[in-house]
Amino acid sequence: MALNKKSVDDFNAKGRRVLVRCDFNVPLKEGKITDETRIVAALPTINKLIADGGKVILCSHLGKVKNGPNEGESLAAVAERLSEKLGKKVNFVADYNVTGEAATKAVADMAEGDVVLLQNTRFRGKEETKPEEAGEKFAQELAELCDDYVCDAFGSAHRAHASVSVVTKYVREKGGTCAVGYLMQKEIDFLGNAVENPVRPFVAILGGAKVADKLNVINTLLEKCDTLIIGGGMAYTFLKAKGYEVGKSLLDETKVDYCKEMMEKADKLGKKLLLPVDAVCIDEFPSPIDNPSINTTVVDADKIPADKEGADIGPKTIELYSEAVKSAKTVVWNGPMGVFENPVLATGTKEVAKALSETSATTIIGGGDSAAAVNQLGYADKMSHISTGGGASLEFLEGKKLPGVYAADDRA
């Protein structure tokens, strides 16, 4: 998809101070990074700017930072890993204020090709609030540190935050360039082509717990795809809309009519809407969620007993969904098929991942849980593209304009 925005290829960063917003929001366990995908994905843009002879100032958020700045959500571990990956020192400014004296000094001391990483942008709190409230000042301070700005934080591009979009106003005001990075371009190429210009048949697979979270994406993808496959907890509201009893399964009564509407829409448009034909049922939700000692029963989708809860797609559904994937030329997948955190209830999600790994279609994984599942299963190399964005890829697939993308300068 042609993105009519300036990119890092449209300017030479030699001698320029370039602020790059990355999404280094990586999972940490006891201070150690457990998945470095987002760090690796940021390297091409950073390396390009280094090669230009730019002064590369990186920033990102990490975590939700609900209780103010703390070492547990510091970007120190990211600085270290990034430094290994780049093969050069990353000067980490540990100051909880993010901008200010320490950051200004670190930037002033930079030589061409040097890399500085600022502290977690959400340590300023203001990052999370609306620009008209308080993010404005922080955005201004970020802009003061640099000459140009690059947004490469696809995973955060749906947030109209100080460091993601508001900063561009101030960089532009002083004549700087605002561009998108290579990761941003790659994500938008894959996701954009899949929905705007797909090689058909185009199969979209949506899972996850709640219909309410996917209302817009179901509606949008139904219009774009040839077959829409529904799995996960949200499938039970569709089954209810079909007139089936779903026992104790996840059900959103308020969305039953919506599901009916979507089924009618699919009919009218001549699209296939595939729902589970059988389900793996449990008596109680596992506690803890990954507790493997649970009883399961497989039943047809129209025979879910009143005292049981559907928690994964069954074997007939796996076959049905795998067949649909086999004959596809483009597949987009977002959301697990069942309670995949539990090894006993992960089969549906695993088998869908396997089907995607075996098809010759262009396969695009829309971030979040499905990306984690594909990575865990070792199928990452077999997919055409795994998005680094969860919420961002979903909003993109819904057809929303992402603030992080639209804040960049238009190409002349």
Q: Contacts with ligand 3PG in 28-87 (CB under 6 A)?
A: 64
**Applying CB under 6 A, does 25 fall inside the site for ligand 3PG?**
yes
User: Which lies closer to Mg ion via its Cβ, residue 198 or residue 367?
Assistant: 367
Nearest partner of 391 among 400, 383, 382, judged by Cα = 400
**Applying CB under 6 A, does 120 fall inside the site for ligand 3PG?**
no
| Number of neighbouring beta carbons within 10 Å of residue 67 | 8
User: Which lies closer to Mg ion via its Cβ, residue 184 or residue 203?
Assistant: 184
Least distance from C-beta 389 to ligand 3PG, angstroms?
7
Q: Among residues 5, 16, 17, 38, which one is catalytic? A: 38
Residue 130 catalytic?
no
**Applying CB under 5 A, does 63 fall inside the site for Mg ion?**
no
**Applying CB under 5 A, does 27 fall inside the site for Mg ion?**
no
Least distance from C-beta 390 to Mg ion, angstroms?
5
Indicate the burial class of 68 (C-beta count within 10 angstroms; 0-12, 13-18, 19 or more).
Answer: exposed
**Applying CB under 6 A, does 121 fall inside the site for ligand 3PG?**
no
**Applying CB under 6 A, does 388 fall inside the site for ligand 3PG?**
no
Nearest partner of 205 among 310, 116, 336, judged by Cα = 336
Residue 242 catalytic?
no
- Interface size with ligand 3PG, residues (CB under 6 A): 8
What separation, in Å, do the N-terminal and C-terminal C-alpha atoms of the chain show?
17
Residue nearest to ligand 3PG (CB): 25
Residues 6+ apart with CB under 8 A from 331: 202, 203, 204, 205, 325, 356, 359, 361, 362, 363, 364
Q: Find which of Mg ion, ligand 3PG, none residue 159 binds, CB within 5 to 8 Å per kind.
A: ligand 3PG
- Interface size with Mg ion, residues (CB under 5 A): 1
In the numeric block, which tokens belong to residue 314? 């069954």
**Applying CB under 6 A, does 130 fall inside the site for ligand 3PG?**
no
**Applying CB under 6 A, does 165 fall inside the site for ligand 3PG?**
no
Q: Among residues 85, 169, 210, 382, which one is catalytic? A: 210
Indicate the burial class of 384 (C-beta count within 10 angstroms; 0-12, 13-18, 19 or more).
Answer: middle
Least distance from C-beta 38 to ligand 3PG, angstroms?
8
Candidate ranges 96-104, 155-163, 178-186, 358-366; the one touching ligand 3PG (CB under 6 A) = 155-163
Least distance from C-beta 25 to ligand 3PG, angstroms?
3
| Cα pseudo-dihedral 352, 357, 361, 363, rounded to 10 | 70
Candidate ranges 2-10, 196-204, 375-383, 388-396; the one touching Mg ion (CB under 5 A) = 388-396
Least distance from C-beta 401 to ligand 3PG, angstroms?
17
Tell me the C-alpha distance between 349 and 221, whole Å.
20
Among 45, 74, 156, 334, binds ligand 3PG (CB under 6 A): 156
Contact 89, 24 (CB under 8 A): no
**Applying CB under 5 A, does 113 fall inside the site for Mg ion?**
no
Residue 159 catalytic?
no
Least distance from C-beta 372 to Mg ion, angstroms?
13
Candidate ranges 32-40, 163-171, 303-311, 391-399; the one touching Mg ion (CB under 5 A) = 391-399
Q: Among residues 53, 63, 125, 391, which one is catalytic? A: 391
Residue 368 catalytic?
yes
Least distance from C-beta 334 to ligand 3PG, angstroms?
13
Nearest partner of 35 among 380, 404, 363, 391, judged by Cα = 380
Residues near Mg ion (CB under 5 A) are: 391
State the residues that interact with ligand 3PG by CB under 6 A.
23, 25, 64, 155-156, 159, 390-391
Residues assigned a catalytic role: 38, 210, 368, 391
